[in-house]
Amino acid sequence: MMKHFLVEHDRDDLAWVTFDKAGESTNTLSAETMEEFAELLDHLKKQSLRGVIVRSGKASGFIAGADVAEFIAIKTPGEAMSLVRRGWSTFQKLAALPFPTVALVKGFCMGGGLELALACRYRIAVDDPATRFALPEVMLGIIPAWGGMMRLPRVVGPNAALDMMLTGRAIDGKRAKRMGLVDALVPERVMHNAARSMMMEAPAARKLPFAQNLLMMPVMRHFVAVGARKQVLKRARPEHYPAPYSIIEHWEKHDGDPFAMEPTHPHSIAAISQHPTTGNLIRIFGLQERMKSLGKQSSFIAKRVHVVGAGTMGGDIASWCVLRGLTVTLQDQSPQKLAPAMERAADLFERRLRDRRLVRDALDRLIPDVTGAGVRGADVVIEAIFENLAVKQALFATIESQAKPTALLASNTSSLKLADIGATMRDPTRLVGIHFFNPVAQLQLVEIVAGERTAPRWPEDAAAFVRAIDKLPLPVKDSPGFLVNRVLGPYMAAAFRMLEEGMQPEMLDKAATEFGMPMGPIELADVVGLDICLAAGRAISGESPGSNESPARLVNLVAAKKFGKKSGEGYYRWENGKPVKTAAGNIPAGVTERLISPYIAEAKKAVAEGIVSDADLADAGLIFSTGFAPFRGGPMHYAATL
């Protein structure tokens, strides 16, 4: 009796294998499901069949990948190798079946799930926006060792395969068809017929075009590998992130065979399973899942959003919500003030949707609203006007009198106290903070702020809303700078102080990126805007605008209207969206420490004060906002390992 698989034979001698993991809403490949699948394959092999169709019994998708909980449990290289062997040999069995096999994919097909599909002779994808293929192992610091490194290059060619494996990028159905990852892309209503006919006709398996095949030859592999290493080096240092280099090495030297490399080789599976990065990345994945589950208690569903203030933040919050399928009314004082946000939105839709009809539909869902009529019909109202308490209070008086009683009322304020904004409301328990980060489309984290008087239901609804627009909610207390800006503050201040001492901006930025930050603090200040940095620094430290405690050079640059990237000059001169930098000098001893330790000290203080509920959430929050070196596992975790 099988627990996770159902096999049905039809009159054409086809076996329909439905994977439906017991007790779960998503199919994952655990030790138990893999064992059952291997037994099933042994059994099928002995039958005389026209073909085998593998499909999913879950509405959510095909297969999400391996069961990550089992990676977390791995302690020794031996355990890592046996997990690899289990998947590898099971999929070898699938590939060796003496009759045609097809994976019928609707929804996500990730990691081990894609490796399973690659071990089938054919793949059919259902044409649906939810259908996505990826090998995201590299993001967890591991490698696609269940046959993916061997089979994917044979199916789509080495360049496309390496791109997928080294970035973890997901591919939609149309793209998968174009690159040959799937043999057919069909509408859902004909998916079963398509699988049946493919089995009955059993066309010759697709071959790589000549030029791609050439790249598979050993000499050419070397050149492809050199190019790939160069690309990876731009994004990840080998000592910080060994997995992508391991993938390249396995493909180049061993044709993707995970058992061929000496276990002592720094890129072997045994070695990377013991590398601290791997444990840290897997831990972060777990924390990300934890954040994704926040807001699950709430049944709040938003269809309409009203955003007030179409500036940097409001405009981008509005377009992001539209991109995620919501209808948004965007309010500002005049059509002229709305125009730049509408233009940026059109840009975002073009880039992300790449389909004329979808772009047009998105534009239809973004409604300019000078009078603010949208408040009445909105499920969520987000205020993102400039940072002025009295004006925000007046605005919320209007919003409160017009909004539906069930509507979520939120401010995007960075530096005002939520309790102060809500102080003049009839019902201050309704106000919640939904604090996005700039640039909205790129940063996953959103802080959910509960003020002193906020009733508990609203932050929960806010977390549900943030999940619905595919961001990660982090509940924080209403305290200056919340978590993220508060922790960034002392770090940026330390950088500014060192600049005042005459240190070179390039050198400071290099110290930070070598530590593993995505961008150095000086470049970051230029990107955020020096005016905003100065104001934020003053707000968090409680300094009055007239005093002269702020770094002199920063104050002077702001006075000279040199705001950074947006004005073309700040600490750096900006050309074509890039800072003009001179070569960075050597990093003197102690500089990195002086830069990073204030960050860590502040994170510890914030956790101790209960700004976030625990150290794990602080780590996750700071990684998904400030990009704190993910391979170090977050500032709190890093501090604990020092």
Q: Which is nearer to ligand NAI, 223 or 386 (CB)?
A: 386
Task: Report how far residue 472's alpha carbon sits from residue 600's, in angstroms, rounded to the nearest whole number.
Answer: 22
Q: Which is nearer to ligand NAI, 312 or 327 (CB)?
A: 312
Active-site residue, from 250, 306, 435, 637:
435
Name the residue type at position 94: L
Q: Which is nearer to ligand NAI, 184 or 445 (CB)?
A: 445
Which 8-state DSSP code applies to residue 31?
H
Q: State the distance between the two ends of the chain, measured CA to CA, in whole angstroms.
A: 51
Residue nearest to ligand NAI (CB): 311
Taking Cα atoms as reference points, which of 589, 518, 506, 597 lies closest to residue 241?
518
Task: Report how far residue 38's alpha carbon sits from residue 104's, in angstroms, rounded to the nearest whole number.
Answer: 19
- Is 240 tagged catalytic? no
Q: Which is nearer to ligand NAI, 52 or 308 (CB)?
A: 308
User: What are the residues binding ligand NAI (CB under 6 A)?
Assistant: 308-314, 331-333, 337, 384-387, 391, 395, 412-415, 435-436, 438, 532
Per residue in 57-87, is it b (16+ CB within 10 Å) or e — as a string?
ebeebbbbbbbbebbeebeebeebbebbebb
Shortest Å distance, C-beta 564 to ligand NAI:
12
Number of residues that make up the chain = 642
Shortest Å distance, C-beta 155 to ligand NAI:
43
Which 8-state DSSP code applies to residue 139?
G
Q: Which is nearer to ligand NAI, 198 or 384 (CB)?
A: 384
Shortest Å distance, C-beta 297 to ligand NAI:
26
Task: Report how far residue 169's alpha carbon sits from residue 360's, in angstroms, rounded to the nearest whole number.
Answer: 26
Shortest Å distance, C-beta 284 to ligand NAI:
23
Check: CB of residue 149 under 8 Å from CB of residue 103.
no
Q: How many helices (H) and strands (E) does the chain have?
A: 27, 20
- Is 550 tagged catalytic? no
Shortest Å distance, C-beta 82 to ligand NAI:
48
Active-site residue, from 27, 56, 268, 485:
485
- Is 447 tagged catalytic? yes
Shortest Å distance, C-beta 438 to ligand NAI:
3
Active-site residue, from 27, 414, 550, 625:
414
- Is 485 tagged catalytic? yes
Q: Which is nearer to ligand NAI, 241 or 482 (CB)?
A: 482
Active-site residue, from 447, 460, 506, 523:
447
Cα–Cα distances (Å) from 444 to 139, 322, 330, 469, in that order, read: 16, 16, 22, 10
Q: Which is nearer to ligand NAI, 497 or 566 (CB)?
A: 566
Edge to edge, what strands does the sheet with 132-134 contain? 61-63, 108-110, 132-134, 171-172
Quote the Cα angle for 89-228-151, to 5°.
25
Shortest Å distance, C-beta 363 to ligand NAI:
20
Cα–Cα distances (Å) from 145 to 268, 615, 629, 639, in that order, read: 11, 33, 26, 32
Catalytic residues: 414, 435, 447, 485
